[in-house]
Amino acid sequence: MANRFVQPLIYFIMVLALIGFGWRLITEPMSLLTQILIAVAIAGIFYFIYKRFIAKQSSPENSAYKRAAKQSLKMKKRRESTRKQASHLRLLKSKPLLKNKKNRSNIDKKEIPFTVIEGRKGKKKNRALF
């Protein structure tokens, strides 16, 4: 019931805003430009303050994720650099496939460093969202 009243009201306000913008553009274009530039400058100042001060005070989970991502990137670069250095070696014939799964699983395993990121394990989930 409330939506029947609110939606036409929003459209009416948008039409009035467009009419006012057009009228201001025709009659006083320089003051309109000045007003838009001031609004953009104020929004830029708020954005700078947010990025500079508030975003740095993020949760420790976020910083742990960033640290793990940096470490993963370093490991990836290190692996790529070792592959590039070994490119001058000649290729050897591959060995036939091993039928014993135990031996094969030991060969296929690679050392992959995992970083545990602490989550919100102690908090209960909001069951109302399910």
pLDDT at residue number 28: 94
pLDDT in tens, 9-68: 999 999 999 999 999 999 999 999 999 999 999 999 999 998 888 776 666 667 778 888
Is 65 part of a structural domain of the chain? yes
Residue 23: what residue type? W
pTM: 0.38
Structural domain tally of the chain? 1
Is 25 part of a structural domain of the chain? no
Q: Which two tokens stand for residue 123?
A: 């908090």
Mean of the per-residue pLDDT values of the chain: 78
Rank 26-30, 78-82, 94-98, 115-119 by mean pLDDT and report only the highest.
26-30
Is 46 part of a structural domain of the chain? yes
pLDDT at residue number 66: 82
Radius of gyration of the chain (CA): 30
User: Rounded CA gap, 11 and 8, in Å?
Assistant: 5
pLDDT at residue number 88: 59
Residue 39: what residue type? A
Is 51 part of a structural domain of the chain? yes
Is 11 part of a structural domain of the chain? no
Q: Provide the strand spans (E) within 67-121.
A: none
Is 112 part of a structural domain of the chain? no
